[in-house]
Structure 1
């Protein structure tokens, strides 16, 4: 077979506790397959249950890491290890819904020095950087305004999108007001100014969204951030 017929192969770690009843988990393989076809690569993915992620060595060899929805996770530390490994080693990373929330906690603890940062779904003490939303976003869609020049805006090719959610927790005001000049930047907001997406400005591709755009694959629509993650992994 001519060399030109071979497609680059990418290894993707899907960090989270697979549940066939979770709609996002049903959609993720299709979103990856569609994105891989679109950009001309082969995406081989492994579901890594959080109890099986016990050290950075468990992530070695993966070209990208996706911390998937459906939290709380069975083993929170497994999710935090994966997020930190991707952040510190320049590994393309996507965190959606629960993955977004846990990436905020990880950043607060290990970059901002808020060692007591926590998630209100599983903790009641400390600086809760993820708290219940004023209005639940379970099975709801909403408009998100994207920062000009951001990676997420580039992926979508526009600065206003509408996506669906299945979540009841988001970023606290305390955290939203704190990062300032930190590399972690808010790059997506709803019409009321609540943060719905973040990215690291000093990382090849590290994006977190509260919404679950991967579910578009079940409706025959593209998942732009999955394509962008694979493009970053290919490079």
Structure 2
């Protein structure tokens, strides 16, 4: 089995290093063999058909803007429609939101403020405060969610590296149309989203991989990998 990590790897960017480390932490408690490989969004755009044949799960990585927003969005659309395990963290969260807005909610002009800050429909917009590097509490508000079954608790603490999130004006629209807001902060702003009736299509605005250790592999990362291996 192979996992593709979608994004432009930067060895000096802590969330990217943490992604590789978290996969190794989870590997230590998973009995099956698997491989993981970084693939740039430009490569995805040029070779998506081949990539989809080679890999069985996709981690949409932190670190936006991507070199090819189209590559990321097209891949996310395919994995969503075809029940392929997909995990988005930080920038991955943001792009999974944009894909859903454009292709499911029919908001064709949905934009990400980091790419186009003056767009008329900013579905992903600047957060009310900079969360970079901060560990903050999140409440899991849906006890029927896959996320709650993984964490097995209502309040968690995770670290952020981002400045952009789901525009609160659109939260109800997403939630009512299947992309459920299952975790929120103290201001009731979306921090975890989960697609109904999908093996694993979960996105977090925080970076769970930075909270993973060899002694305590992160539960979300481990469950993502286990879902691929099923």
Aligned-partner Cα distance in 2 for 1:78–1:105 = 13
- Matched with 1:42 is 33
Query: Which of the residues 212, 218, 224 maps onto 1:217?
Result: 212
Aligned-partner Cα distance in 1 for 2:18–2:53 = 25
Which runs of structure 2 are paired with 1:29-178 in the superposition (5 Å)? Answer: 29-54=20-45, 56-57=48-49, 58-123=51-116, 124-146=118-140, 147-178=142-173
Write the deviation string for residues 57-114 of structure 1: whole angstroms up to 9, x where unpaired.
1322312100000100111111112211210111101000000001000000001110
- Matched with 2:203 is 208
Aligned-partner Cα distance in 1 for 2:100–2:137 = 26
**RMSD of aligned alpha carbons:** 1.4
Q: Give the superposition deviation at 1:179.
A: 2.6
Q: Residue 84 of structure 2 aligns to a residue in which SS?
A: coil
- Matched with 1:26 is 17
Q: Residue 19 of structure 1 aligns to a residue in which SS?
A: coil
Preserved CA contact (<8 Å) 1:13 1:59: no
For structure 1, the 5+ residue unaligned runs are 1-9
Q: Give the superposition deviation at 1:219.
A: 7.8
More strand by share: 1
- Matched with 1:191 is 186
Aligned residues: 226
Preserved CA contact (<8 Å) 2:25 2:213: no
Normalised by the length of structure 2, the TM-score is: 0.94
Structure 1 stretches of 4+ moved >4 Å: none
Q: Give the superposition deviation at 1:173.
A: 2.1
